[in-house]
Structure 1
Amino acid sequence: MQRRVQLPLGKSIFIFVLTALFLCFEMGVQVSTAVMTHDLMQDLSLSTLGLGFMSGFYYYTYTVMQIPAGLLFDRFHVRDVIVIPLLICALGTIVFSFAHGIVLGSLGRLLMGAGSAFAFIAALIVASDLFKPQYFALLAGLTQMLAAFGAMMGATPLLPLLHRFGWRSTMALLAAVAIVLAILVWACIRYERCNTVIHSASPIPSILKSIRAIVRTPQAWIVALYACCLWAPMAGFASLWGVPFLQTVYQLSHTEAASLISLMWLGLALGSPLLGWISDLSRHRRIPLALCGFVGMVAFSWVALNTVLPMWLLGACLFVAGAACSGQALSFAVVRDNSSPSTLAAAIGFNNMAVVVAGAIFQPLIGGLIGDGSSAHFQSGACVIIASLILGGLIPLFGIRNTVRFPAEK
């Protein structure tokens, strides 16, 4: 039986939005390197491959921490499990701002990823705790929308700060934002989860049981693979290589390229809640998930395989490609459909681990394919994302069960 924390609606919405602000911050930090590529390569003496690996360090700890983060949410107070990661994020951002080479830069990204690993899980757990189950897909979409807005803030709006203060001072400012958020979370989030085992006397057997339950479920792996494939355009392109791709292949200015990449995040922001609402209304998951893969493949192929497109068409294709990545957010509704309350946070962490693996894989992979940075090499790197989207369209048709259940509340 699903049990929900009973709070006034206004307070529930406030807590959800406050938690989602952590996700907004995390996404802004995650993609901030996309508008700093030239400065980072110059100041830290990096090649395209080196930049890809350094940026990818964010995803290594983010990936490793997903299941532990979920387990911590299943066993400790929400407030505590949010505040500490926010402070780790702030520390990593400060370390990154002092970097003069790949080692310290990678350490900063490593710490940022470790702290950020808790953000998306936190928002979905709060949504599951405080709102009715039939709204979860919509709330997952809204969560992704807020994440996309955070990513947009880490792109074009960051440029004036970069131009005026430089990337080091800008990163230090982001660290201050994380500290303020930690203070607000500590002061405002005080509810306790209904299905949480607080400070269990024998946590190890319980933890191992939760992990075994997840990894022994074939659907968990299939849905995770789908989520990874659908996130490839955002992690590999929008988060790092999209701006230099548009500058090189389409001969756009830095500001024009960053503005167009922001359209991918806008498409994701608008598409995620809409897709969640449609899926909940129709009680179908598979067809919307498959359409996201195939529509994204068509839209992204237009961008990747051309060298001359009208600005409006280029922007429209990027917007649609971003909107198609909404399937990644809907995959978390599938996870919830198939998870028990006691393992929900860990299951969400497992699926989100697959999402961030996309960054760890595609950022250095595309960086290696880009090589000398010619237009042809940039397009070769983009073809990897096209292949990922094709696979993402096929997985729901042949591997994902259409299970939509709204369990009774207690």
Structure 2
Amino acid sequence: MTAYDHRHFQQVRWTIYIILILAYMLVFFHRMAPGSVSGDLTEAFGTSAAALGSLAAMYYYIYTAMQIPSGVLADTLGSRWAVLAGSLVAGVGSILFGLADTFAMASVGRFLVGLGVSTVFVGLMKSNSVWFSERQYGSISGLTLLLGNAGAIAATGPLALVLDHYDWRTVFVALGVFSIVLAVATWLKVYNKPEDAGFPSVREMEGKTAHAARDQHWLKDLRAVFANRKLWPGAVYDFGITGSFFGFVGLWAVPLLRDLHELDRSAASLYPTLATVAFAIGCLVAGMYSDRVGRRRPVLIGGAVVYFAVCLGLWLLPWGPGPLAMALFVALGLSAGCFVVAYAHAKEVTAPALAGMGIAFVNTGLFLGAALFQPIFGWIMDLLLLAAGRSDYGVAEYQGGLVLLCAFAALALAASLLLHETHCRNIHVKHD
């Protein structure tokens, strides 16, 4: 085993992790913030429900399209360049969004935010795959999503409180500046892998043989990832569960509570805040539990069953503000949090050198789901409103959107039954 300074290694590893996780918290904030500023955006730009859905989903459109390129970038140039470039672009986009005086300019800003942050998550997960042991990957993935969700939590209730004192434009400009600061920190402190910082690989530290490096052009590697049938169920799983969760909680939950139950923004934001906190906890618990029992498939199937049941409850039960609604939103977040295990599953059914592409492939499903869910939900509402000949959204319109939520959940449940069990070990590596 190669000698190394263990204390120095820990210091470098966690410094890298902290910088990348701060960038990832901004990813989540930008993802969820439209729900809290939906009223401000409607007032500023005079948008319909469908147009608001499209503006919010602009983030998801480019984020979805960029997942595979982000995986290629992480596997070729490394996490450092992926996160650095992404943070710079996202910072510029956030500033532009905050300064926008037209709907078109706001859309461009939102597009740039989505383009920038699209590289951060895959870069972070790729970094985790080389800086942490394989047997810790489910747990570190859960911790990553838990901390990342602090950004999502900040974009719900806390953001609503901040907006009582500061203009929404000021918030997004400030976040853009912070993103650029993180880009500088990434340049100065982040290394792609332990070897770049003078350490042996994590596997060598454990007395094992280092994983083989990529040995062919990335296009051939990418074709191999697309041809890997064991990856597809995970992508569909994330499309159905997390795509609909982000789409609903990140945009439509607050308007639903406002329009149907006459809650103001602060009161309505409590429920998506609860869902987001529960989601963060669910990610940590699911990742740790999966590592502990040495299984991936039962955790993912169990999460899909509960998520589908909760979605049915939101659609069919006569719930209103209070304990039942809180319980439903908490259960929605906890069950959706099981999705984090799909990333560990993706890494384990993909050759180690292609971990970035494998994770990006599954992540594409998630954001394609959110990109479609948000505008389709708004389109259904507008269609039902037009058919009813009314001017205000009511129960029938939101019920139509909740049917869409149930359909996405059902698709994820079906996909979960097709997942391959890895027993928390990479199936492409010979194990002792």
TM-score, normalising length from structure 1? 0.92
Taking the aligned partners of 2:312 and 2:365, their CA distance within structure 1 comes to: 24
Task: Confirm whether residue 268 of structure 1 aligns to residue 279 of structure 2.
Answer: yes
Corresponding residue number in structure 2 for 1:401: 420
Structure 2 gaps, min length 5: 197-213, 386-392
Corresponding residue number in structure 1 for 2:43: 42
Confirm or deny: 8 A CA contact 1:89 1:115 kept in the other structure. Answer: yes
2:311 is paired with a residue whose SS is helix
Taking the aligned partners of 1:271 and 1:137, their CA distance within structure 2 comes to: 12
Taking the aligned partners of 1:204 and 1:116, their CA distance within structure 2 comes to: 29
Corresponding residue number in structure 2 for 1:365: 376
**Cα shift readout 1:121-162 (whole Å, capped 9, x = no counterpart):** 122112111111011011111111122211011111112332
Distance change >3 Å, CA 307–CA 254, structure 1 → 2: farther
**Cα shift readout 1:68-115 (whole Å, capped 9, x = no counterpart):** 111111111432221111010011111112223331121111111110
Task: Confirm whether residue 140 of structure 1 aligns to residue 141 of structure 2.
Answer: yes
Runs of 4+ in 1 over 6 A off after TM superposition: none
Confirm or deny: 8 A CA contact 1:303 1:317 kept in the other structure. Answer: yes
Structure 1 gaps, min length 5: 196-202
* TM-aligned CA deviation for residue 190 of structure 1: 3.2
2:230 is paired with a residue whose SS is helix
* TM-aligned CA deviation for residue 18 of structure 1: 1.9
Confirm or deny: 8 A CA contact 1:58 1:110 kept in the other structure. Answer: yes
Calculate the aligned-residue CA RMSD, in Å.
2.2
Corresponding residue number in structure 2 for 1:288: 299
Taking the aligned partners of 2:378 and 2:321, their CA distance within structure 1 comes to: 27
Task: Confirm whether residue 234 of structure 1 aligns to residue 245 of structure 2.
Answer: yes
Task: Confirm whether residue 131 of structure 1 aligns to residue 150 of structure 2.
Answer: no
Corresponding residue number in structure 2 for 1:14: 15
Which one is further off, 177-186 or 318-327?
Answer: 177-186
* TM-aligned CA deviation for residue 298 of structure 1: 1.8
The counterpart of 1:346, out of the listed 357, 361, 365, is: 357
2:327 is paired with a residue whose SS is helix
The counterpart of 1:317, out of the listed 328, 342, 345, is: 328
Alignment of 1:297-336 (within 5 A): 297-309=308-320, 311-336=322-347
**Cα shift readout 1:171-204 (whole Å, capped 9, x = no counterpart):** 1111122122222222221354669xxxxxxx99
Task: Confirm whether residue 390 of structure 1 aligns to residue 401 of structure 2.
Answer: no
Taking the aligned partners of 2:194 and 2:372, their CA distance within structure 1 comes to: 35
The counterpart of 2:257, out of the listed 246, 250, 263, is: 246
* TM-aligned CA deviation for residue 217 of structure 1: 1.1
* TM-aligned CA deviation for residue 306 of structure 1: 3.7
TM-score, normalising length from structure 2? 0.87
Corresponding residue number in structure 2 for 1:151: 152
**Cα shift readout 1:219-258 (whole Å, capped 9, x = no counterpart):** 2222101111111332211111111111122332211111
Confirm or deny: 8 A CA contact 2:80 2:123 kept in the other structure. Answer: no
* TM-aligned CA deviation for residue 391 of structure 1: 2.1
Percent identity between matched residues is 25
Taking the aligned partners of 2:194 and 2:224, their CA distance within structure 1 comes to: 21
The higher radius of gyration belongs to 2
